Structures are given as C-alpha cells and as structure tokens.
C-alpha cells in the first residue's frame, strides 16, 4: 500500500484539528448512516401503501440479521483497529496484507452464514421470533430473499472497513448513495407494480434491496481499484497469528452483536405479545427516531478511525482528547435533535401511518424513547472507541447488561408476573439507554483503553513491515 495514497489522510488525523477532522470523516459516515435509513424508510413508505401492517415485516428481519452478521462485525472491528493503527504507525505494507486477509475471511464467512440461515429460517421464526399470524407468510418471503443480501453485505463491509481505516470515508458513502437512489427507483416498481410487472409487496422490497446493494458494492470495489491501485485486495492464505489476533480483538464484538441480536429477538417477541397495532407502532416509532439521530451516529463512527490512527502513532493523550471532545459535542447536538423530534413527532409519524390507533401508540413510543437518545449516542461512542483501540471488552459488558438485564430480563419478568403494557416496555428501553450511556462515558473518560494492539518499531527505525519470527 503506497504511503503517498494515504499520507494526506493520516497527517490530518494524527496532527490536524480534532473538530475539523471529525467533521471531514464523520460527514460521509453520517451520509452513509442516513442512506441506510433511506433503504428502510423507502421500503416502509411503499409497503405502507401496499398494506398498512406489512410495513412491520422488515423489522422482523433485523434481529436475525444482527445475529447472522455478528461474526462479520467481529472481523471488521478487529481489522479496523489493526489497519488504522498500522496506518498511524506508517506500516503501510502490513496494512495492505491485513486487508486481503480480512476480505478473504469476510467473503467465506458471509457465504456460510447465508447457507445456514436458509436452512433454519422457518424454525427460527416459528419457534423463537413468532411474528403475528397476520404477517407470518410475508416475513418468510422477505427473509428468504434477504439471505442473499448477507453475502453482498459481507463483501461491502470488508471493502468499506479498509477504506475507512485509512481515512477515506467519502468513497463508501458515494457508492451507498448511488445504491440508495437505485433502491428508491426500484421500490415502487417491485412493491406496488408497474405496467405488466405485478405487485410483489414484501418480496419486491427485498428484491429491490438486493439489486441496489449489489450495484453499490460492485461500484465500491471498482472505485477502490482505480483510486487506490496499491491496495492489493485478493483472496489469500489466512495465517494462524493473524487469525488468533482477529479472534482476540473481535470476539467481544461478535459476542456483543450476537447478544444484541438475541436481545432484540426476545425484545421483538415481547413486543409481539402486545398485538399487531403495537408492533406496527413500534416499527413506525423506531423509523422516526432513527431518522432524527442518524445525522449524529455517523460522527461516532469517525472516532474509531481517529482513535486507531492516533494510538498507532503513539498519540495516546490526543486519542482520549478526541473521544471526550466527541462525547461533549455530540451529546448536546443529539439533545437538540431529540427536542425537535418530540415537538414534530405527529407529523413524522403521519408519513408512515394512517390508522388512528397506530398513530396514537407510535406517539406514546416516541414521547418516551426520544429523551434517552443522547445517552444512546454515548453508548455508540463507547463502542466506537473500543473498535478503534481494539479494547472492546467493557463496551460489550455494558451492552449485555443494558439489553439482557434491563430490557429482556425485567421485561419478561413483568410480562410473566404482573403483566406488561406498551408504555412500560418503552420506559424500560429508555431506562436501559440511560444506564448504558452513563457507564460508557465514565469508561471513555477514565478507562484504560489507550494502549495500541500492534507492535510498533522503536522510534527512529524505518517503518517497514515487521516480519513474523
């Protein structure tokens, strides 16, 4: 990997203005986060025009999706830390070598995940997730097609992680924008039909997503090869030393993603017991709140890159200063966004719901949850600091407590004893975010995460790849 191709990114990250660099890196990531929501919102809008209740179908896929991609998330997180720290240390050849290994492992893992899910999907949804009977068949139709998306997702995640680690967040956002535009064009055609093409409902939404994501990922690979010819991404041999380090650094993220996926699954099952109206209201409510907060979640992702490269460069004090600066600025920004959402919630909800009972329940949901989102941002930031530093244990533990102890544990305890209603469920979710965000901030300020996970040559020696013994 040529140093000339990435030196400009590195210098701004390790020695430039923290705020300006955070904006430069975070803006494309923010756009990418918004684009991910555009996929979801576009599907929800056209599905609501097809049938009011099927707009909750994609929400039944996300918990299982999180479980399935848990291994990919671990691989990505570990190698984001490795590549960014190698770049910070100017070990560019080592960064290129690690990139090919990550690509190989992500591809093989995503193919395996898709095959396993295809085999177990009916049993998982019938016995565990248990969507309402009114939408069960539509859920199976949707997830059967979305299994193909796992492979495309794995490839795109590997390439995007490599580019983000070196400091190029613009290219992934650009290709995602093109994919989202294609999805917006295809959704009405495949969902509600056009001319001789019949309406396909949720199957059409899934097909449009797979096609558009495939196009975006292919374009991302093409641009990377043209823009960074020295990044030699290829299928390669995976050595034991790299695999063990990836497992060591990535397994907390894998555990976190699996834990979150199962927790969301049991949380969704808990919400499903409250009836199809509440299920639909929750789906609408999450869409509304995610739109308001997507603008700022992308900025927390940029902190991983800044922390990683500064730790690799030996700038430990600057790494902590970056994390705290982000925490203070983004907390205030998300709080202002939450106030805006609270006072405009009815208008936002009306875009996706037209039945009065759904609108009423969705308003209750937003009114409770929205005030916890500044703390949710701090949880996201804690995870980003862990990803960049390679120290993911504490964020993993905090999220397990947040989801399993408070949301799932207390929620099911209430449901099986005194009974659970919708408003109590929403309060539990908000309370869990308050606890998780507060603990994450304490770890960011005082935690012992400012140690790089790579071996850096002594100062003054040439910064070439260190050969394995």
Task: Kindly report, residue by residue over 337-367, the tens digit of the pLDDT.
Answer: 889 888 988 888 888 777 888 888 888 988 9
Give the integer Cα–Cα distance in Å for 401 and 419: 22
Chain segment 131-158, per-residue pLDDT in tens: 888 888 888 989 999 999 999 999 999 9
Predicted pLDDT of residue 462: 42
Give the pair of three-digit tokens for residue 427: 């309060």
Encoded tokens for 185: 């064009």
- 9-57 per-position pLDDT tens digit: 889 899 989 999 999 998 888 887 777 777 677 777 777 777 767 777 8
Residues sharing a CB contact under 8 Å with residue 233, sequence separation 6 or more, in sequence order: 99, 100, 103, 159, 162, 221, 224, 225
Q: Which one-letter DSSP state was computed for residue 195?
A: T
Spatial neighbors of 285 by CB under 8 A, at least 6 apart, are 349, 362, 365, 366, 369
The predicted pLDDT at position 34 comes to 77
* pLDDT value of position 228: 80
Low-confidence residues of the chain: pLDDT under 50: 1, 460-469
Q: How many residues does the chain have?
A: 469
User: How far apart are alpha carbons 87 and 85 in whole angstroms?
Assistant: 5
The set of residues, in sequence order, having a beta carbon less than 8 Å from that of 439 and lying 6+ positions away, is 398
Query: Residues near 366 by Cβ (< 8 Å), separated by ≥ 6?
Result: 285, 288, 289, 341, 342, 345, 348, 349
pTM: 0.80
Task: Give the model's pLDDT for residue 461.
Answer: 41
């Amino acid at each position: 990997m040529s140093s000339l191709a990435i030196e400009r990114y590195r210098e701004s990250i390790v020695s430039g203005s923290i705020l300006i660099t955070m904006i430069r890196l975070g803006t494309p990531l923010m756009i990418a986060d918004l684009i991910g929501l555009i996929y979801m919102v576009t599907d929800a809008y056209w599905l609501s025009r097809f049938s009011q209740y099927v707009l909750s179908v994609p929400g039944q896929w996300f918990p299982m999706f999180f479980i399935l991609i848990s291994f990919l998330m671990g691989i990505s997180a570990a190698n984001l830390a490795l590549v960014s720290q190698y770049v910070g240390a100017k070990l560019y050849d080592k960064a290129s070598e690690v990139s090919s290994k990550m690509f190989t492992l992500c591809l093989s893992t995503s193919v395996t995940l898709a095959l396993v899910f295809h085999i177990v999907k009916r049993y998982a949804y019938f016995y565990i997730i248990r969507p309402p009977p009114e939408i069960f068949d539509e859920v199976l139709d949707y997830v059967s097609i979305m299994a193909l998306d796992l492979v495309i997702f794995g490839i795109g995640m590997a390439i995007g992680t490599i580019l983000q680690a070196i400091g190029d967040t613009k290219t992934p956002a650009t290709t995602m924008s093109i994919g989202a535009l294609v999805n917006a064009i295809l959704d009405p055609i495949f969902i509600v039909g056009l001319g001789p093409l019949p309406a396909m409902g949720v199957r059409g939404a899934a097909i449009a997503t797979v096609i558009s994501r495939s196009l975006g990922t292919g374009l991302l690979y093409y641009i990377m090869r043209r823009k960074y010819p020295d990044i030699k991404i290829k299928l390669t041999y995976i050595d034991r030393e790299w695999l063990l380090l990836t497992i060591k650094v990535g397994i907390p993220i894998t555990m976190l993603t699996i834990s979150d996926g199962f927790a969301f699954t049991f949380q969704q099952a808990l919400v499903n017991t409250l009836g199809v109206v509440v299920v639909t209201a929750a789906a609408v409510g999450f869409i509304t709140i995610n739109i308001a907060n997507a603008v700022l979640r992308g900025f927390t992702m940029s902190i991983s890159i800044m922390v990683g490269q500064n730790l690799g460069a030996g700038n430990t004090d600057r790494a902590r200063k970056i994390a705290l600066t982000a925490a203070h600025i983004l907390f205030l920004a998300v709080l202002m966004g939450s106030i805006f959402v609270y006072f405009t919630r009815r208008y936002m909800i009306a875009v996706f719901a037209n039945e009065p009972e759904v609108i009423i329940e969705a308003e209750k949901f937003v009114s409770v949850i929205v005030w916890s989102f500044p703390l949710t941002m701090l949880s996201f930031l804690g995870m980003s600091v862990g990803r960049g530093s390679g120290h993911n244990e504490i964020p993993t533990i905090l999220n397990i407590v947040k989801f399993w102890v408070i949301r799932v544990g207390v929620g099911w305890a209430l449901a099986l004893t005194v009974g659970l209603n919708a408003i109590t469920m929403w309060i539990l979710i908000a309370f869990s975010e308050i606890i998780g965000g507060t603990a994450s901030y304490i770890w960011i300020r005082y935690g012992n995460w400012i140690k790089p996970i790579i071996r850096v040559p002594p100062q003054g020696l040439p910064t070439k790849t260190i050969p394995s013994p």
